Structure 1
C-alpha cells in the first residue's frame, strides 16, 4: 500500500518554492523598472539632458521585457528552464555591474 501523504509533501514543498521563485522574479522586474524611473532625474543631470529626453530608457526597458519574456518561454522549452533562468540571472547581474 502506498502512503499518499508522503508523496504530497515533497510536491507541495516544491510547488511552494517554485511559486516563491516566480514571485521574487516578478518583484525584481518591478524593482528594476522602479529604479530606472526614479533615477531619470539624476541621469539627466549627469548627461546634461532633460529628464523628458531620457524617458526613452523606460520605454526601451518595457519593450525589452515585452520581447524577452515570451522569448524566454520558447528558449526554456528548447534548452531547459533551469539553464535559461540561470543565464538570465547571470546576464542581469553582469549588466547591473556594468551600469
Structure 2
C-alpha cells in the first residue's frame, strides 16, 4: 500500500479544473488519484463549494488543548477537596455525637 498523501485546497481545485479540460481519467492518472476520491471531491465541491474540499477533521488549537487540560486538573483538585471536606465533616459529626453521649 502506498503512502497516504494530503492534498491542499488549491491542489484539489487544480485537479478538478484540469479534469474539466483534460478529462477525468487522464487527470486521475497524472496525479495518481483514484476515481472514487476524484468523484468524492467533485461531489463535495458541488454541494458546498470550496468549503466542501477542506479537511473534514477538526484540529484543536494547542492553546485551547492546554486550557482544557488545566481545567480538568483543577476540577480533580476541587473534587478531591470536596471529598476531603465531606469526610472531615462526617468525622466531626461523629466526634460531636460521642462527646454528647459522654456527658
- TM class, shorter-chain normalised? 0.3 to 0.5
What's the TM-score, normalizing by structure 2? 0.38
**Which of the pair is proportionally richer in helix?**
1
